[in-house]
Structure 1
């Protein structure tokens, strides 16, 4: 039994493309550096998203591919914000009110079926689930660029869903990365919350 499980793991690993391996490693570096509030996280985001644009398109996850085009642009924007933003290079962590979150969640949720339907017309796989992670990742990425504490809450939900989404498309290494992301998201939240509390003090 254990041998069979190990063989499945080895087979899944061998099936991964070199591009996916590099994309995963760069994405993990991005998140680790983001947790540390290190500006170089955006460089690794740029590398990872460049590769994932192609990878997701190749397995018909069209919304995810489009999302990574957005990530690519946001990597440049995020770097600029952290380096030249109005609150200086090391921008302080902020927190949004519940009212502001609701005002952004509602239009984001309404965009999900629209994007899902549009993607389905182009033969996208799992279009509505794909659209859900895409739409809310757009919002969460803006929050990271502006160092909003609650971005980690959004990423926790997105990452959990993404594990299933990518595993179902046999992107096992990427699915494993998102499983790791779930853990790192919790770590990131508590790290940023500690820094936020120190700022208030």
Structure 2
């Protein structure tokens, strides 16, 4: 009995140690992305792989699959930013789309979120089924926008993180609530940092014409 109890305690400590390391790496990813450092992607990859292990071990299989997607996007983001780095003057280039394209993307993503929410509401015991489905759908899209180095990705994350704060607070998950409050602040800072860089790009481009 004592051996079993010791093993359970050791397993619990290991799982939460992995969770802590994954969280630190996730914060490092966001901060490095803010600085447009390509090293944000290795941090993201390690974080998502560790979170995949935590979610799988906790029987949160949908979250585990979501983090596997994030791992794939980390590899894509590294490749995409590496391609830009190899092009003269493109290493720190920030891109942006017209508002019409964003409106189309938001509409399609929202419809996908509604479909997922319907499945969660009618076939599972999920809480906040529709709201949580929307944050999931938009998180998938926003991660892709980071890899594309699109300025507006930060605005997507501001909304996603703010909604996540509400969900986690309602579920009394105070550590995650605090973490996403930090994410929201970083997303706001990231938007203004990237926008300043984007505006400088436009100024330099206009001077060369």
- TM-score over 0.5 for the pair: yes
1:200 CA drift (Å): 1.0
Name the residue aligned to 1:195.
197
C-alpha deviation, 1:51, in angstroms: 2.4
1:69 corresponds to: 68
Asked if 2 retains the 8 angstrom alpha-carbon contact of 1:156 and 1:182, the reply is yes
In structure 2, which of residues 128, 135, 150 is the aligned counterpart of residue 148 of structure 1? 150
Task: Provide the aligned C-alpha RMSD in A.
Answer: 2.5
How far 1:175 moved relative to its partner? 2.5
How far did 1:69 drift?
1.8
* Pairing 1:29-68 to 2, within 5 Å after superposition: 29-56=28-55, 63-68=62-67
The residue number in structure 2 matching 1:127 is 129
Q: Distance in 2 between matches of 1:128 and 1:154?
A: 17
- Structure 2 equivalent of residue 25 of structure 1: 24
1:172-191 residue CA offsets vs partner (Å, 9 max, x unmatched):
33322111011111110111
* Alignment CA distance shift 1:126-1:169 (3 Å): same
Check conservation: 2:48, 2:71, Cα contact below 8 A. Answer: yes
- 1:79 alignment counterpart: 78
Question: Contact 1:27 / 1:45 at 8 angstroms: preserved in 2?
Answer: yes
Distance 1:33 1:86 in 2: 16
Larger Rg: 2
Q: State the 1:127 CA deviation.
A: 2.7
Separation (CA, whole Å) in 2 of partners of 1:126 and 1:65: 19
Distance 1:185 1:35 in 2: 8
Q: Give SS of 1:96's match.
A: coil
Tell which has more relative contact order, 1 or 2 (C-alpha 8 A, sep 6+): 1
Per the TM alignment, residue 86 of structure 1 is displaced from its structure 2 partner at its CA by: 8.8
> Unpaired runs of 5+ in structure 2?
1-12, 204-209
Equivalent pairs counted in the alignment come to 187
Aligned to 2:165: 163
- The Cα shift of 1:112 comes to 0.9
Distance 1:61 1:136, change over 3 A: farther
**CA–CA distance in structure 1, aligned partners of residues 42 and 125 of structure 2:** 32
**Is the CA contact (8 Å cut-off) linking 1:27 and 1:48 kept in structure 2?**
yes
